Amino acid sequence: MANRRTLENEAAQSTTALGPMIGLAREDFIGAIALLLRETASDPARSMKHARSMGEDMIKIMTGKSDLAPDPKDKRFKDPAWQYNPFFRAGAQYYLAVQKGMANWLNDLDLDELERDRANFISNIIIDSLAPTNTLAGNPTAQKRVIDSGGMSLVKGLKNAYDDILHNKGMVSQVDKRPFKLGENIATSKGSVVLRTEMMELVHYAPTTDEVYAIPQLTIPPQINKMYINDLSPDKSVVKWQLDNGIQTFVISWRNPSKDQGIWGMAEYIRSCREAMDAVAAITGSRKVNVSAGCSGGQTAAILASKLASDKQTSLGALTLMVCVLHPKQNDIEAGSLVSENGMQLARRRAAKQGVIEGDSLARGFAWLRPNDLIWNYVINNYLLGEDPPAFDVLFWNADATNLSASLMGDFLTIFETLAFTKKGEVEMADHKIDLTKVTSDLFILGGVTDHITPWRACYRSTQLFGSKDVTFVLSQAGHMQAILNPPGNPKAKFFKSKKPGLPPADVDDWLAGTEEVAGSWWPYWIEWLQARSGKKVAAPEAVGNATFKPLDPAPGRYVLEEH
């Protein structure tokens, strides 16, 4: 059970997200490896020194005199056999000697900071793949399982591997999808699609209270995963939380683009967002529409806000941005060191040729950036131990990835390359020049303490980009998706908020020094913030939609079921 929870938690913190990694090309990996080989060849004496040092470690291991031991926090070596069995202890020490030798060698190379980051990143991927725990011969836990199960764990592991070859394009499965069915135990909140276009569906959720706040909320989801992350399960549903607190709730459901729809770029997505806002306003009778968005949906919402301000439109109410980076820096994420200008151009051209980047292809590339958490853990669990992958709702959603249109990918890369959100009217996109200083909406911005996809310090930079006079930043004690899906009831939940009112300071450490820790979920704090910006209470509508926007398919709609 503990191992199952570990798999769930680690994988859930590594859910696929758009970022500079979409601009990674295989040449970037090859170039980083070539750099290591070139540096090795440039100074044979240095290489011989490290080879000799590693050889000395090997001799100590063979003679039983080595004191190399795994880090107590390394879960791969928890089995007592690694400590008490001479064969396994030596196997672990050989691996640790290679790990130590590689680290010492890299530290001795003549590299600049970026090259060193690239070298360390690539070497960690290589070293992780060599861990003895990844093989049956080197994994005592798996060997015990074979004996205890009478060999059935091997049979089940082979079946799991065969199923992955047939049904998962050879990629090890992270989730058992069988227990989940949309509309039954996933995405169960009541509502209907009230607008369908070629690009999106607009879902209007049915009120659960007698009275609702007059100003509605529209959620703009990321374009790379499906919208039902907002209504994952009854106990982890942002949609249900909003409804139960009187918020009129609407969510966009993006269509999964096919190759022919690879021309959909940011301009088309912004037009769809405006179309959705107009429909929400018409249905609710509200001049204002509050907007919430996360990850790449947050970048989309920021451009929408800029576009509305440019057009002198005042329909945008309060804006919530969750785990979203608008001011990226190359060293924000581990894989950022591999991104190069040439690699991004190659990635653009390949995507344009294909029309779309397939969702499973993006997920596969993402997994190999964190192979210990997203590949080798599951090789051990599914194949060596013969266990099913965990049946976990967040991972079910994460595995339900969508394609990314080539044009939109190009736009996201342009945002990254030009730092478009940090400029004032210099970068043109979606038929206007982006300028967030013209956006004056009240802002709520969320980061996650252990988020390595959109690191919280990078999320914090967004507090300095807008022209808003009311900005709230909250730090959730969780990783990427758990930072959002953090409902009341979790005894371990906590968040950090500023102790004093006013705009967040420019220096993130100054903000951190002025925070207080609050036990529990951040959802109640956020909903109070949102309610205060949602107008007066009115009688809840008796039905979703209206005469113009009539109910179509029940929530979560038709587009979440489409696959390409």
Q: What are the residue numbers of the active site?
A: 295
DSSP annotation string for 215-271: S-EEEE--SSB-GGGGBSSGGGBHHHHHHHTT--EEEEEE----GGGTT--HHHHHH
| Alpha-carbon distances of 317 from 153, 293, 441, rounded to whole Å | 56, 13, 6
DSSP H or E run through 497: strand 494-498
Q: Are 214 and 284 in contact (CB under 8 A)?
A: yes
Query: For strand 249-254 and strand 217-220, is the pairing parallel, antiparallel, or unpaired?
Result: parallel
Which residue has 């956020």 as its token pair?
A: 526
Rounded to an integer, what distance in angstroms lies between the CA atom of residue 190 and that of residue 203? 10
Nearest to 156 by CA among 166, 146, 141, 169: 146
Rounded to an integer, what distance in angstroms lies between the CA atom of residue 69 and that of residue 360? 38
Rounding to the nearest 10 degrees, give the CA dihedral for residues 511, 513, 518, 524.
-10
DSSP H or E run through 57: helix 44-62
Query: For strand 494-498 and strand 471-476, is the pairing parallel, antiparallel, or unpaired?
Result: antiparallel
- Residue 111 burial by Cβ neighbours in a 10 Å radius (0-12, 13-18, 19+): middle
Q: Is the dihedral of CA 418, 419, 423, 427 positive or negative?
A: positive
Helix axes 86-108, 113-129, angle to 10 degrees: 160
Beta-carbon contacts of residue 239 (< 8 Å; ≥ 6 apart): 189, 205, 219, 230, 231, 249, 251
Query: Which ranges of 419-460 would DSSP assign to H, the alpha helix?
Result: 456-460
